[in-house]
Amino acid sequence: MTKDILLNLSVQYAIDAVKFCKTLTEHKEYILSKQLLRSATSIGANLHEAKYAQSRADFINKLQISLKECHETEFWLTVISNSSCFKEVEAECIGMIRKAGQIRWKLISSLKTTKNLQ
């Protein structure tokens, strides 16, 4: 059940990231937008791969990659938020950081649970 919630959250987060990055590119910010888009969409991509993992170790590895990508996403969003160059998207950026934090904690919880089952 939790995995499905996490999968759904990651898909919605990727969609939100696509929209947010489109806004950034409208402001002529291409480099940060590209970095953010890659890391934010990778969270869900790796979670979806984990669903068909070949082993428990493979499953854990995919979750850990998702966690690393989530942390990277928070980094890029923090850079954007604190750069003072994009005041018009700051509130949306902070919301994206909060959502990434929620996903990160769910990933950490899933990893702990999975590792304890070994």
pLDDT tens digit sequence for 19-58: 999 999 988 889 999 999 999 999 999 999 999 999 999 9
48: domain range? 2-116
CA atoms within 13 A on the CB side of 103: 34
Residue pair 111/67 in contact (Cβ under 8 Å)? The answer is yes
Q: How many structural domains is the chain composed of?
A: 1
pLDDT of residue 46: 97
CATH code: domain of residue 94? 1.20.1440.60
pLDDT tens digit sequence for 72-98: 999 999 999 988 777 888 889 999 999
pLDDT at 1 over 50: no
Lookup: tokens for 1: 């059940």
Q: What pTM, to 2 d.p., does this model score?
A: 0.91
Which H helix or E strand runs over 69? helix 56-82
Length of the chain: 118
pLDDT at 2 over 60: no
